[in-house]
Amino acid sequence: MSSPPSQAALRRLAVTRRIIYLLVAIAVAVPTLSDLACDFKPSPWAEKVFKKVESLKPGSPILLSFDFDPAAMEELHPMGLALLRHCFKNDLHPILMTHWPSGVGISKQIIEKAAKERGKVSGKDYVFLGFKPGDYNLILNMGESLQGAFDKDFYKQPTQGMPALEGVRSLKDIPLVIDLAAGTAIEMWIAYGRDRFGFDLGAGCTAVITPDLYPFLSSGQLIGVLGGLRGAADYETLLKRPDRATKGMQAQSSTHVLIILLILGANVHYLSRRMGAYAKG
Amino acid sequence: MAAPQETTSRSRRTVELVVLAVLFVAFAGASAAGKRPANAPDDWWVTRLGVVIAAGLTLIMYSFLYRDNPLFKMAENLFVGVALGYGVILTWRQSLKPEIIDPLFIDPPHLHAFWMELARRSAPIVLGALLLTRISRRAGWLSRYSYTLMVGWGAGLSIPITIHTYVLQQLKPSLGLVSKVLGDAPAGQQASFWSTALPVLGDLIILAGIVSVLFYFFFSVEHKGAGSFVSQLGIWFLMVSFGASFGNTVMGRVSLLIGRMRFLLHDWLGLGP
């Protein structure tokens, strides 16, 4: 049985930990302050989402569901902004909603910023539906009647007869839905929305949940996925409008290199100690 | 006379307090140094005050990396309190007010509309109110009616959908190999060796992964001989999957740090491009 670590070893560990924190802080701060460009090729899954949006005709509706709150803002805010900029650039009619009550403020901020840049008007060029409780029941309800599920938009304007919703009665009339989520909302959209009403579904999510979505890509239930800050940077690159996410990739890369070096260094140190102990017998 | 260890601890505490005082002065100085832009709106000071408070709280939260401390505890409790208060306000503004108060008492133009809305919304209102009886020992049983409906409704909806989405639809890529081997090439297309071989290899790996991982969790047969090999292969597939998840988690956490760092350097200190 191994003996418990000594006080000196614990103190050394605490100091080492703080040095690692300091190194990570430097690895993030230096690229954030510098103006270096980071060159990278967008992932094929991001390209598929981009091409799908690109293939829609001007005036087509596209539903965006922003199911996240400020805790996931760093990854999903730039993604949402890039998507909406793309929609407005191609004169699409985005319909924005959220399943998270705490996501209303951030969704409103993003769509109003993107709309202002292009001079788009609420109700005419886009619709912000806001939040409604119900989760999957709401999706099923929207599949029956969009105007029945949301009789008014966020700004209290009746959705019936709204120019931006012309020709849209339910989810069946929407060719593409993109869900940006920090939780399990994407799987909910797949199960209760895409598989039931047949629209194409794209996804954007935090890096943590990206691997959980890979099975849905190979089965074709998702057309593509934007994963984390990298996914947002991919979309900004495809849109040829680099912004926050693209700038963040330099810091992301330097930190990853540091973490890899630390893992390698720790393993080499551990192995050399084991081999030393083995040699001593 | 104080013990040597006690003296060391006291002197360390004194050094920490001095460092904290210096940091506070540096924070106040950096916050005060923020210049007002030429075209800033009138309420710029309000926004600046918010930035300074957010920067202070961010630094206090990161102070935990050095050691647990009273300032961190204060910020932690403040966060819990603010989140709870924000949650209550959100529930009121986003759910209760637009779904119950506005349609029943604010929006209806006449009495008939009120009764129509009440008829539409009475069942959800009653079922929602019954959930609140959980707080009473005597009336708590009433909440079971709401839970019964929620569980029944949820199970009835989700069981067929789950089988369709997570089993039947997922069988398609798992059996991709079969369709590629048995299926005909599209007319007029001459597929190259590599364009056929690589997807088939991918499908083979998927198939091997599914079978071996399922076998690893199959305990009715002892894992020895060939079974042991398949089981070990399953562990390898699981390890690769956990590695991918861990790598993505690191990426996600680093993104959050980048966001905070950018906030501190750009928004608070006004540094960088």
Least confident of A11-15, A145-149, A200-204: A11-15
Rounded mean pLDDT, A262-281: 91
What pLDDT does residue A10 have? 81
Rounded mean pLDDT, B62-86: 93
Domain assignment present for B180: no
Rounded mean pLDDT, B89-98: 89
**Statement to judge: residues B217 and B246 lie in one domain:** yes
**Which phi and psi (to 5°) does residue A94 adopt?**
-70, 140
Report how far residue B193's alpha carbon sits from residue A219's, in angstroms, rounded to the nearest whole number: 24
Instruction: Record the tokens describing residue B193, joined without a space.
Output: 């060796």
Instruction: Record the tokens describing residue B67, joined without a space.
Output: 């050691």
Rounded mean pLDDT, A243-261: 93
Neighbouring residues of B116: CB distance < 8 A, sequence distance ≥ 6: B108
**Statement to judge: residues B150 and B218 lie in one domain:** no
What pLDDT does residue B7 have? 67
Per the structure, the complete domain to which residue B90 belongs is given by: 18-31+43-97
**pLDDT tens digit sequence for A168-226:** 999 999 999 999 999 899 999 999 999 999 999 999 999 999 999 999 998 899 999 99
**pLDDT tens digit sequence for B224-244:** 888 999 999 999 999 999 999
**Which phi and psi (to 5°) does residue A177 adopt?**
-120, 135
Mean pLDDT for all residues in chain B? 87
Q: Which of B90, B206, B273 sits opposite A101 (nearest CB)?
A: B90
Rounded mean pLDDT, B27-33: 84
Q: In 3D, which of B48, B261, B253, B252 has the Cα closest to residue A34?
A: B261
Contact yes or no for A28 and B257 at CB 8 A: yes
Q: In 3D, which of B101, B30, B89, B107 has the Cα closest to residue B267?
A: B30
In chain A, where the domains are located: 44-248
Residue B114 has pLDDT above 80, yes or no: yes
What pLDDT does residue B15 have? 86
**Statement to judge: residues B115 and B58 lie in one domain:** no
**C-beta neighbour count of B227 within 10 angstroms:** 13
Report how far residue A62's alpha carbon sits from residue A96's, in angstroms, rounded to the nearest whole number: 9
- Whether A225 contacts A202, CB under 8 Å: yes
Q: Is B266 exposed, middle or buried (0-12, 13-18, 19+ CB in 10 A)?
A: middle
Q: Touching check for A18 and chain B: CB below 8 Å?
A: yes
**pLDDT tens digit sequence for A24-40:** 999 999 999 987 777 88
What percent of chain A lies above the pLDDT cut of 90? Answer: 84
What pLDDT does residue A11 have? 81
Instruction: Record the tokens describing residue B114, joined without a space.
Output: 């009120």
**Statement to judge: residues B122 and B88 lie in one domain:** no
Contact yes or no for B165 and A195 at CB 8 A: yes
**pLDDT tens digit sequence for A76-115:** 999 999 999 999 999 999 999 999 999 999 999 999 999 9
Neighbouring residues of B107: CB distance < 8 A, sequence distance ≥ 6: B113
Q: Touching check for A133 and chain B: CB below 8 Å?
A: yes
Q: Which of A29, A218, A219 sits opposite B261 (nearest CB)?
A: A29
Contact yes or no for B272 and A32 at CB 8 A: yes
The one-letter amino acid code at B142 reads L
Q: What is the pLDDT confidence band of residue B181, given thresholds at 50, 70 and 90?
A: low
For chain B, the domain total comes to 3
Q: In 3D, which of A144, A159, A138, A143 has the Cα closest to residue A95?
A: A159
Domain assignment present for B8: no
Tell me which of B68 and B107 has the higher pLDDT.
B68
Shortest Cα distance, chain B CAs vs residue A58, angstroms: 32
Q: In 3D, which of A115, A108, A66 has the Cα closest to residue A91?
A: A115
Shortest Cα distance, chain A CAs vs residue B81, angstroms: 16
Residue B268 per-residue DSSP state: I
- Whether A117 contacts A87, CB under 8 Å: no
Write out chain B residues lying below 8 Å of A255, CB-based: 254, 257-258
Domain assignment present for B24: yes
The secondary element (H helix, E strand) that includes residue B114 is: helix B111-131
The one-letter amino acid code at B205 reads I
Domain assignment present for B201: yes
Rounded mean pLDDT, B109-117: 85
Q: Touching check for A191 and chain B: CB below 8 Å?
A: yes
Rg of chain A over all Cα atoms, to the nearest angstrom: 23
Q: Touching check for A4 and chain B: CB below 8 Å?
A: no
Longest dimension (CA), chain B: 97
Domain assignment present for B181: no
What pLDDT does residue A6 have? 81
Instruction: State the fold for domain A44-248.
Output: Rossmann fold (3.40.50)
Q: Residues of B51-76 as b/e, b for ≥16 C-beta within 10 angstroms?
A: bbeebbbbbbeebeeeeeeeebeebe
Q: What is the pLDDT confidence band of residue B152, given thresholds at 50, 70 and 90?
A: very high
Q: In 3D, which of B75, B44, B55, B28 has the Cα closest to residue B266?
A: B55
**C-beta neighbour count of A174 within 10 angstroms:** 22
Q: What is the pTM of this model?
A: 0.87
**Statement to judge: residues B71 and B119 lie in one domain:** no
Q: Touching check for A206 and chain B: CB below 8 Å?
A: yes
Domain assignment present for B248: yes
Contact yes or no for B261 and A251 at CB 8 A: yes
Rounded mean pLDDT, A51-57: 97
Report how far residue A147's alpha carbon sits from residue A127's, in angstroms, rounded to the nearest whole number: 12
**Statement to judge: residues B62 and B117 lie in one domain:** no
Report how far residue A84's alpha carbon sits from residue A110's, in angstroms, rounded to the nearest whole number: 8
What pLDDT does residue B110 have? 81
Q: In 3D, which of A168, A170, A204, A164 has the Cα closest to residue A66?
A: A204
What pLDDT does residue B3 have? 62
Tell me which of B186 and B64 has the higher pLDDT.
B64
